[in-house]
Structure 1
Amino acid sequence: MGRHRPNLLTWQWRGYAATHRNPINLIVHLIAVPLFVLASLVLLSALFQLSVLPLILGVIGLLAALALQAHGHRLESKPQEPFSDTTDAVQRLLLEQFFTFPRFVLNGGWWRAWKTRQRR
């Protein structure tokens, strides 16, 4: 069983800026996170409508968004903590897409990281 964090959102936020500094990763996240959110909505809609094409497109969108972000994260000088198990991975990924990254953008964290970006 994976590590239990009582307040995962706070834990994720605390280290977020330090693991999101590479300029390519910053740009990748601006594209991939909205793609993930949109693909999630398409997938959810497909499940309610029992429609195959949106289901396939939603899954492709989710996988593409996650693959892009995984590539971006590999460019960071400070890597993120590895996932401890599947539950940890799902929870952290969903929180990042729907809460942490939007918060990072809206509170100016993305812009501050961009201005002081760390080049590889």
Structure 2
Amino acid sequence: MPIKDIIKWQWEGYAKFHKSRSNLWLHIFAVPIFIAGSVLLFFTVFNFSVLLLVVSILLMAVSLAVQGIGHNEEALPPEPFTGLLNAVTRILLEQLYTFPKFVISGGWYAAYKNS
């Protein structure tokens, strides 16, 4: 599936997979941690440091683990990944695009009020 289609698919179903109040709170704190880890990983490429590499990967992994705990609170589990490329693509798009858009558009607040 092309990235454009994944973005559309992810956005259209995003609110129905993010309704639990605890999951919403976990995401609002965990996604920025993933973004920080991603930025740190990007800079590690230019200034290679094993310590920064480890820290960036840990930040992203902990963020995803916390979000996984939050998704266990949801009535609808996330759609299963169809493969490694699908998993990486969907995770990166959700963390770096879809969830920030969900917050900025007011979707997070609306979901929180309705939870």
Q: TM-score range by the shorter chain?
A: over 0.9
Residue in structure 1 matching 2:63, options 52, 65, 68: 65
Aligned residues: 114
Question: After TM superposition, where is structure 1 displaced by more than 3 Å over at least 4 residues in a row?
Answer: none
Unaligned 5+ residue runs, structure 2?
none
Q: Offset of 1:19 from its aligned partner?
A: 0.4
Q: Offset of 1:75 from its aligned partner?
A: 0.9
In structure 2, give the amino acid aligned to 1:94: L
- For 2:44 and 2:105, how far apart are their aligned partners in 1? 33
In structure 1, give the amino acid aligned to 2:86: D
Task: Give the TM-score taking structure 2 as reference length.
Answer: 0.95
Cα RMSD (Å): 1.0
Query: Which residues in structure 2 correspond to 1:26-105 (within 5 Å)?
Result: 26-105=24-103
Per the alignment, in what secondary structure is the counterpart of residue 11 of structure 1? helix
Task: Give the TM-score taking structure 1 as reference length.
Answer: 0.91
Unaligned 5+ residue runs, structure 1?
none
Which has the larger share of helix? 2
